[in-house]
Amino acid sequence: MEQKQDYKNIWVFIETEEGKAKPVGYELLTPGRMLADKMGQRLVAVIPAYGADETAAQAAAYGADEVLLVEDEIYRNYRTDVFADCMTQLVEKYRPLVILMGATNNGRDLGPRLACRLKTGLTADCTALDINAETGNVEWTRPAFGGNLMATILCPDHRPQMGTVRPGVFKKPVKETGIAEDTRNEMNAEQKIVREKADINPERIRTEIVERVREVVQSVNLEEADIIVSGGRGIGKAENFSYIRELAEALGGAVGSSRACVDADWIPHAHQVGQTGKTVAPKLYIACGISGAIQHLAGMSGAETIVAINKDPDAPIFGVADYGIVGDLLEVIPELIREIKKIKAN
């Protein structure tokens, strides 16, 4: 019977689509590195995929000490049974101490299935991570009770410890120079890559992809936006989102929203930032008419610079803002737009 001390290393699951990594996989190498350094462990990127040599090299460049690449046609498209079988076999062989996964649609599907097979715990939608170097227990922090408080969850009795983290919570690590950046250093990346195989039993696979249909919809890529202008209940009505859109357009940014506006059908859910929306970490976040409830702060507090516009000087949003403007946003925003256009013209 394995003991807790038999488990080692920090794993980051790199989710791919057609061989290309989802950004959250690289983002998780940042907390993965922190956990690995605190525990004196290795950071391992795990990539079941097809046509993912470049993705594996990039994972090495972003700081993974080792990359487990499981490459086969069967991993071209995500299927729960296929990926769960693959990951279960890898975990049983290598015994990782911790597994980090992105809280994407696929990550939220795979994580619980894998945790159940491994008879361990899973903490979902984490917004912060730490580890107790003495006990080896990861401290998983996530919003709880409707976002009214932050809970820190431990999994002291079972290994591996597993958690999913929302895209945008952490920033990508700085690339190591020379790795996966020029052909002369391809060996640097290749030396980190371990090519693995998993024995997938076709009789256990209960699903088959018959056809993939891409629905063309307006793209709202808040997670990767450098600038986001968000509107809240304080804008007054749906028509006033025109002010938010115009300011976002002037800055070359994206349009976000609080939950109140989505619930009022003023804007689609794809724009929602917060605990039940998207977690973002732009260089600039402008909150317009947003009070600053903890549910919203959970989704945007990672922004480098936060600007708040609100006519209530006691609004909680000013407690986290780097810059605050107390005033009627319908007067402030047009003035901001005029000044931005003047700067651009000059």
d(CA 116, CA 136): 21
- Confirm if 193 and 56 have CB atoms less than 8 A apart: yes
Q: What is the CB-side half-sphere exposure of residue 346 using CA atoms within 13 A?
A: 5
d(CA 203, CA 205): 6
All residues at 6 or more sequence positions from 313 whose CB lies less than 8 Å from its CB, including other chains? 326
Q: Give the pLDDT of the chain (346 residues) as one tens digit per residue.
A: 567 778 999 999 999 988 899 999 999 999 999 999 999 999 999 999 999 999 999 999 999 999 999 999 899 889 999 999 999 999 999 999 999 999 998 999 999 999 999 999 999 989 889 999 889 999 999 877 766 678 899 999 999 999 999 888 888 888 775 554 444 344 466 788 999 988 888 777 887 788 777 655 456 788 889 999 999 999 999 999 999 999 999 999 999 999 999 989 999 988 999 877 888 989 999 999 999 988 898 888 889 999 999 999 999 999 999 999 999 999 999 999 999 999 988 8
By residue count, the chain amounts to 346
- Confirm if 80 and 109 have CB atoms less than 8 A apart: yes
Output the pLDDT for position 183. Answer: 40
d(CA 54, CA 21): 9
Amino acid at 122: L
Could you tell me the domains of the chain? 4-204 (3.40.50.620), 222-345 (3.40.50.1220)
Q: Which two tokens stand for residue 143?
A: 């919003």
Helix 329-345 and helix 241-251: axis angle, to 10°? 20
For the beta sheet containing 128-131, the strands, ordered from the edge strand earlier in sequence to the opposite edge, are: 128-131, 138-144, 149-153
d(CA 15, CA 24): 8
Output the pLDDT for position 294. Answer: 83
C-alpha dihedral sign at 332, 333, 337, 338 = negative
Instruction: Tell me which residue has tokens 């610079």.
Output: 305
**Range list of H helices, the chain:** 23-27, 29-39, 53-61, 80-94, 105-118, 186-190, 241-251, 259-263, 294-300, 329-345
119-to-80, 99, 105, 111, 139 alpha-carbon distances in Å: 17, 14, 22, 12, 19
